[in-house]
Amino acid sequence: MPDFTTTAIALAVALALAGLANWQMRRPFDRRWLPVVPWLGVQFVAVTIAIVMLAHLISLLTGHSFGRNYAS
């Protein structure tokens, strides 16, 4: 089970990658670093990972598991 530090680092990396992808998508096509990289897909995956890591970080801070718990 990842701890707080690992989750925070993964969240920061995902947000940085999403920011990089957003910046690359806003540049003209001929001035991008790697024009063959699908930056929209990279941004989508990075934001999805960031949302999951944020939910996990909240569950670590509050002590409650994230999601439904039917075995109460």
Burial (CB < 10 A; 0-12, 13-18, 19+), residue 13, is: middle
What integer pLDDT is reported at residue 27 of this predicted model? 86
Residues of the chain with pLDDT under 50: none
pLDDT at 1: 57
Q: What is the pLDDT of residue 69?
A: 67
d(CA 35, CA 5): 34
Two structure tokens written together for 46: 């990075």
